[in-house]
Structure 1
Amino acid sequence: MRRLFAALALTMVLIRPAAAKDELVIGITQFPATLNPSIESMLAKTYVLAFAHRPITAYDASWHLTCLLCETVPTLENGQAKVEQLPGGKKGIAVTYTLRADAKWGDGHPITSEDVVFSWQVGRHPQSGVASAELFRRISTVTVKDARSFILHIDRVTFDYNAINDLRLLPAHIERPRFDGAAAEYRNRTAYDQDSTNPGLYNGPYRIAQVVQGSHVVLEPNAQWSGRKPAFKRIVVKAVENTASLEANLLSGDIDMIAGELGLPLEQALAFEKRNGARFAVVTKPSLTYEHLDLNLGSPILAERNLRQALLLGLDRESLTKQLFDGRQPVAHSMVPPLDWVHATDIAPYKFDPAKAAALLDESGWKRGPGGIRVNAKGDKLSLELVTTAGNRSRELVAQVLQAQWRKLGIDLRLRTEPPRVLFGETVTKRKFPHMAMFAWYSAPENVPHSTLHSDAIPKAENSWSGQNYTGYANPAMDRLIESIETELDRTKRKALWRELQALYAADLPALPLYFKADAFILPKALKGLVPTGHQDPSPYWVENWRWE
């Protein structure tokens, strides 16, 4: 309720509309490790590039697949996708896309089928180091019909055959000389990092005009953009890795808003709203974001499934979410969020059961030793290390709760933090964390976890650290389920397969589920048109609709 004094004061002043604003400064908690659209999978990069670099297709805020660079989403029904016979009696699918006639790179060079072919060649090269190579490997050939139309020949018929969100276009006229003959070095030679302000790298409403490493990225309107004219003459995305400092920057006016995709933890945002709700609009959006602990299964300790199960049974996650998040971020029992239609509700959850956890540890040979810490027959202590992002107050609190709860079980947990660009650019990507890494996966609707759970997606030096299976999980049964889900077109049958996958995930626990997050957008009340999506395709994909009113 507003105070009476404020209400009376309104009658005493002339109310004027907020002045138009030319510059918008946005705060996020991470700085990108790279700006190349295909290399690394950091959300900070996805967010920054969303202002300047559009994919061919994306999911909108209603979770519908839509065209951003193409004219029409191809489907079997409209005839732009056709099942085709492959050698050996298998079936594939040929999907025809037509690029928008007005699509151009920021240097005026048209976006063409040549860019599609080049981007596919980079993506499928075994040494290019792209984050998710699966889509590129499945596209067996690309047939160029003309400068704007092309056919992707995919080696299987999948339910999401027309969603090519991961096929991020690279400008062939700029990047090809850096890639040809030096694929293994491409990630270190890309113009996106060596010549970041080159306008020819971008095709969205904005282009990157300045990059100050570790600090901020400046975006200015792209003169070649033919869509709706964006409202701001300058957007600055500023990285403030400490969430308390991020809040202070907002209150001091150094930034205008905090992005929900990569901003304040929910509990901090709710507390902020109580204090500052009159000045800012706080919009919370339940999302497909999965907070968890990736486990390095190459560790001899964590390789044993009983121990992984004991770790989860020893966590009181219900109390954790109630105490820290007021129960607004539900406990995760698998990696599939409850918002997703394939979420299985009948998988037996790991409820807090310290007695059962202790029994499993005893059974695995970890007995209570001096000081209460468990030791094995060799005298090795049950000591683990957890690494997470520095400056994130929520994760620091969660890590401390985990440490205290596992201590009661006789498990020693050491905590370590790293700057996000180090954690995601090096430690996690190259599987350098010894035991556990706490972070979140931001998913698309019905996102098949091929890149995170299939054995062919384990990053290693031989594939230039391509893939997102950072745990090193390899289970033929999981591989078969993933492949079956991808090729099952019948929704009822596919949902049954999804249930099997979630049951296997719960049994094997390659990662420890914590909770599903809600995004908190802290916006100036004059900013209109920003619509949270709740999934991995972020709100700046539609920045041309943002207005200051």
Structure 2
Amino acid sequence: MNTFLALAVMSVMGITVSASTHVYAQPDKKQLVVGQLQFLTNFHPLIQVNNTKRLQINYGLLPLTAFNWNADNECILCEEVPTLENGLAKIVANADGTQGMRVQFALKKNLAWGDGKPVTSKDVAFTLKMANDPNIGFSEFNPWVRAKSIEIVDERTFVLILPKVTPGFASWDQILPEHLEGPIYSANGTSESYVKQTLYNTDPTNPGLWNGPFVLSEYRTGTRITWTPNAYWPGEKPKLEKITLTYRNNSSALIQNLLSGEIDAVPVSPGGISFGQMLDVRKQRADLNFQTTAGTNLERIALNLDNPIIADVRVRKALLMGINREAITQALFDGQQTVAHSLLSDTNPLFNQAIPRHGHDSDAAMKLLSDAGWSPAKDGICTNKKGDRLAIDLTTTAGNQTREQIALVIQDQLKQICIEVKPRFLPLQKYNGEVSRHREFTGMIMSSIRFSPSTSPRIALGSDRIPSEGNSWVGNNFSGYSSAKMDGALDKFQSALSAEEKKSAWADIQATFAEDLPMLPLYFYSEAYVTVPGLKGFEQNTFDPLMIWSKNWYRE
């Protein structure tokens, strides 16, 4: 099957939409049913974190700060965002002559867990203690490990002590309840043991685990979870009385349930229906709401650089140049997903316009493969002088129609340049566990990653972020990429405070990335949801999950 025929086949794999039924799930405007594709097997908010988990946890457990729809960092659990200008953040001299930081926060007044216990500075200290335990392995989106110690001023006020100057000093993730999780952590000193015993997995409906406007009140494995208002939330009360996340095995079922009125809202991939399905529905159901905005979520292919075939940068560049990303985004997304040439979109003011873009060029790709010692055999697949076959696995998540389609198209496109691609579709738990985080793949894996203004690209590119048993499998450097040049550029980024320094550091990171291609950038997801009419306050976001502001949602 040639590329264009494969793309045509993909288009007919979408669903047939009936425009006859306009029934909606909740005549009760105080309730909302949200369709989801992937049920979480680990509900802990700070361990094995991915974009899917972030979309499901933030109804009930809020980060200290977050970037809103205007890309402004705002306090979520605190009173005021620390800055150098307001004096809540200070650069200080360390004992060894280097520079560090002191960053002061005050928690919101009357902030409480869902069991009525106050959220205090002791909870922050407990979270920080766990984060700095190398046996546990916390998230690296806005990592707590940036702070090595804490000074507790009073029940609500604390100072984080950072040994290094970092531009993300005002961005911090969720806080854990010391009164509930403290004893469990003390009794379970490894990540494997703790994850099995944490209340987030053994008793997720315990209200004391949640500090946001909602608490998780119902949990049915693989089927649904329900969020209801937190009686102790001190801020503006939620306008909805119930938000139910209901799960389906595939994206076609999600969209059919939306059309039949069983669900009120559904995310567009990742974690929901495909972008192509959304476009198909939009053509025939103008009564629904289609909320989209340009995104920053990068769909990428990580490459196992331990594989001697992929270790050759010429092969990596040939792989990228053999993939027609423009054709994919046109066929699947009606051209509405931006082709990625680096870690940042080329519309981002920090994008380095000088980097090579490695566009689709089959002839140039074949030349690179020839230079690397590969030539087509009788069956059209390349071999080298040793008789090795140019065959590479491509693994991604099962049930995600968009990724499954893209994997099949990439298989067809790379066959045109004598590369045999073998797609594998795995359940989310297996994919996120041993396959990606334990790096038990031999070729390529496809997933997404997002770099907010506070998240260092080190999580995916730093040589110290290669997941291993020694670091409790933390980090998103699934490729196993190690480069002194890149590490130097990342160090430069992590000490950049001014806009000029940050832009210079990003330029170096992107230049080294383009030279080495440790992973293959595909495109940037548009942030999108399909919802029933009348859902308001549902502000799309480009950096942090919109669920953080779910208390603002209401239905007319």
Q: Verify the 8 A CA contact 1:367 1:374 in the aligned structure 2.
A: yes
Superposed counterparts of 1:234-273, under 5 Å: 234-260=242-268, 262-273=271-282
Q: Verify the 8 A CA contact 2:29 2:554 in the aligned structure 1.
A: no
Task: Name the SS for the 1:372 alignment partner.
Answer: coil
> Does residue 419 of structure 1 match 2:434?
no
Q: Verify the 8 A CA contact 2:79 2:108 in the aligned structure 1.
A: yes
Query: Hey, what's the Cα distance between the residues in 2 that align with 1:233 and 1:134?
Result: 31
Aligned-pair CA distance for 1:398: 1.2
Query: Hey, what's the Cα distance between the residues in 2 that align with 1:203 and 1:134?
Result: 18
Measured on the aligned residues, the alpha-carbon RMSD in Å equals: 1.8
Query: Hey, what's the Cα distance between the residues in 2 that align with 1:468 and 1:117?
Result: 26
Name the residue aligned to 2:4. Answer: none
Residue type at the aligned position of 2:520: L
Aligned-pair CA distance for 1:457: 1.0
Query: Hey, what's the Cα distance between the residues in 1 that align with 2:322 and 2:28?
Result: 54
Name the residue aligned to 2:186. Answer: 180
Query: Hey, what's the Cα distance between the residues in 2 that align with 1:445 and 1:143?
Result: 26
Superposed counterparts of 1:398-417, under 5 Å: 398-417=406-425
Task: Name the SS for the 1:415 alignment partner.
Answer: strand
Aligned-pair CA distance for 1:134: 7.8
Residue type at the aligned position of 1:506: A
Deviations 1:480-521 (A, max 9, x none): 111101112221232122112111111111111111111221
Name the residue aligned to 1:3. Answer: none
Name the residue aligned to 1:444. Answer: 452
- Choose which of 43, 46, 50 in structure 2 pairs with 1:38: 46
Residue type at the aligned position of 2:299: E
Q: Verify the 8 A CA contact 1:220 1:234 in the aligned structure 2.
A: yes
Aligned-pair CA distance for 1:222: 1.2
Number of aligned pairs? 529
Q: Verify the 8 A CA contact 1:241 1:392 in the aligned structure 2.
A: no
Name the residue aligned to 2:3. Answer: none
Q: Verify the 8 A CA contact 1:295 1:510 in the aligned structure 2.
A: yes
Name the residue aligned to 1:509. Answer: 517
Q: Which runs of 5+ in 1 are unaligned?
A: 1-17
Task: Name the SS for the 2:110 alignment partner.
Answer: coil
Deviations 1:137-164 (A, max 9, x none): 3312101111111100111122222112
Q: Verify the 8 A CA contact 2:41 2:429 in the aligned structure 1.
A: yes
Query: Hey, what's the Cα distance between the residues in 1 that align with 2:228 and 2:297?
Result: 30
Residue type at the aligned position of 1:179: Y
Residue type at the aligned position of 2:178: A
Query: Hey, what's the Cα distance between the residues in 2 that align with 1:134 and 1:444?
Result: 9
Q: Verify the 8 A CA contact 1:340 1:446 in the aligned structure 2.
A: no
Query: Hey, what's the Cα distance between the residues in 2 that align with 1:47 and 1:135?
Result: 18
Does the C-alpha gap of structure 1 residues 138 and 529 become closer, same or farther in structure 2, counting only changes over 3 Å? closer
Superposed counterparts of 1:324-473, under 5 Å: 324-445=332-453, 447-473=455-481
Task: Name the SS for the 1:244 alignment partner.
Answer: helix
Name the residue aligned to 2:507. Answer: 499
Query: Hey, what's the Cα distance between the residues in 2 that align with 1:45 and 1:133?
Result: 12
Name the residue aligned to 1:82. Answer: 90
Q: Verify the 8 A CA contact 1:341 1:446 in the aligned structure 2.
A: no
Task: Name the SS for the 2:104 alignment partner.
Answer: strand
Identity %: 36
Query: Hey, what's the Cα distance between the residues in 2 that align with 1:19 and 1:349?
Result: 50
Does the C-alpha gap of structure 1 residues 119 and 133 become closer, same or farther in structure 2, counting only changes over 3 Å? farther
Deviations 1:322-362 (A, max 9, x none): 22222211211001123533122232211222122112212
- Choose which of 535, 538, 542 in structure 1 pairs with 2:549: 542
Task: Name the SS for the 2:412 alignment partner.
Answer: helix
Aligned-pair CA distance for 1:267: 2.3
Q: Which runs of 5+ in 2 are unaligned?
A: 1-25
Q: Verify the 8 A CA contact 1:134 1:451 in the aligned structure 2.
A: no
What's the TM-score once normalised by structure 2's chain length? 0.92
Q: Verify the 8 A CA contact 1:129 1:187 in the aligned structure 2.
A: no
Name the residue aligned to 2:15. Answer: none
Aligned-pair CA distance for 1:20: 4.5
Name the residue aligned to 1:106. Answer: 114
Q: Verify the 8 A CA contact 1:340 1:445 in the aligned structure 2.
A: no
- Choose which of 171, 186, 197 in structure 1 pairs with 2:177: 171
- Choose which of 511, 523, 527 in structure 2 pairs with 1:519: 527
Q: Verify the 8 A CA contact 2:293 2:540 in the aligned structure 1.
A: yes
Residue type at the aligned position of 2:555: W
Q: Verify the 8 A CA contact 1:123 1:133 in the aligned structure 2.
A: no
Q: Verify the 8 A CA contact 1:286 1:518 in the aligned structure 2.
A: yes
Range with greater deviation from structure 2 (93-102 or 439-448): 439-448
